[in-house]
Amino acid sequence: MYDMIIVGAGPAGLSAAIYGVRAGKSVLVLEADSYGGQIINTPEIENYPAIKHISGYDFATNLYEQAIDLGAEIKFEKVLEIKSENHEKKVITDSNQYDGKTIILATGAKSRTLGLDREKELVGRGVSYCATCDGGFFKGKEVAINGGGSTALEEALYLSSICAKVYLIHRRDSFRGEEKILQALREKQNVEFVLNSSIKELIGDNKIKGIVVQNIETGTKITIPISGLFIAIGQIPENGTFDNLINLDKGGYISATEDCKTNIEGIFVAGDTRTKRVRQLTTAASDGAVAALAASEYIG
């Protein structure tokens, strides 16, 4: 029986593990993929207090080693189900079953997909969810970016500095992203705004060669030839596994306030997967601390 079972070894889960073991609790962290979560993809972090510069990989590795050195146990198994019976929790993975006094769900979020045919098979063949990661492969080429938030605008600006042409495709005619970046984009000669439009089809067999875009108001479809499509339409959590037990909000995030307590006593939530406004490294770490201390208090 573990005091705490943490699902997810990203910044929130590993921060929770650190606080858990330092509170004298036995802690098991379960991770389906590799440790680190989304931050692994960030080449350079410059907004984490007291760390001027660090790569996402180094940050994640430091955090992982810190949690292990302090005594947390980490197993790379995929969680299939959680159960709560009379103050005891069970976590069923693809290869084992674990009993815990508390559970902390820190399952994070991942990039939202368009949900188009063959989108999955074209990832890495011209379809990408990270312009700062893959943009360099499209130097001097024509690309499109889909989205209207700050990430989409920032990535469009980055792409416009290296690509021959950038089509910015957005389903509305106004943007949620920062006005300053938008202004900078409007001044770029090689950026073309395709507004009130959504992507309907991906063209190309082995790699992407173009997209079919439909104007939502007029219904008119046009084909735009491109060699790269960057999708920046936000993120989605993956909490389907828990919805029999845990209350989720409309977006699929786990409902909880800043106290990180879910509707089930003894089950807590931390990080991007929680209903919240700001999803940052700092808030993930903060949630980890809050959830682990709340779990410690619950155990008594």
Q: Which positions touch another protein (CB under 8 A)?
A: 33-34, 36, 39-44, 52-58, 60-61, 76, 123-126, 128, 133-134, 136-138, 207, 228
Q: Check if 163 is active-site.
A: no
Specify the residue, 136 or 251, whose C-beta has the smaller distance to another protein: 136
Q: Kindly tell me which of 138 and 253 has the beta carbon lying closer to another protein.
A: 138
DSSP calls for the chain: -EEEEEE--SHHHHHHHHHHHHTT--EEEE-SS-TTGGGGG-S-B--BTTBS-B-HHHHHHHHHHHHHHHT-EEE---EEEEEEETTEEEEEESS-EEEEEEEEE---EEEPP---TTTTTTBTTTEES-HHHHGGGGTTSEEEEE--SHHHHHHHHHHHHHSSEEEEE-SSSS-SS-HHHHHHHHT-TTEEEE-SEEEEEEE-SSS--EEEEEETTT--EEEEE-SEEEE-S-EEE--GGGTTTS-B-TTSPBP--TT-B-SSTTEEE-STTBS-S---HHHHHHHHHHHHHHHHHHH-
Query: Which pair of structure tokens corresponds to residue 127?
Result: 């379809």
Asked if 51 contacts 4 with a C-beta cutoff of 8 angstroms, the reply is no
- Using the minimum distance from each CB to another protein, give the nearer residue, 60 or 291: 60
Residue 211 tokens read as 């997209």
Give least dist CB 267 to another protein, A: 28
Least distance in angstroms from the C-beta of 50 to another protein: 11
Q: Which is nearer to another protein, 39 or 152 (CB)?
A: 39
Q: Is 260 a catalytic residue?
A: no
Give me the catalytic one of 134, 163, 260, 272: 134
Q: Which of 77, 78, 103 is nearest to 20 (CA)?
A: 103
Nearer CB in complex with another protein: 132/255: 132
Using alpha carbons, select from 47, 80, 130, 2 the residue that is nearest to residue 238. Answer: 80
94 is catalytic: no
CB of 154 to another protein, least distance (A): 17
Point out the catalytic residue in the list 58, 99, 117, 133.
133
Measured from the CB atom, is 7 or 256 closer to another protein?
A: 7
Per-residue tokens: 3: 């005091």
Here the tokens at position 97 are 């079953």
| Closest separation in Å from C-beta 57 to another protein | 4
Least distance (Å) from another protein to the CB of residue 10? 12
Residues with a known catalytic role: 130, 133-134
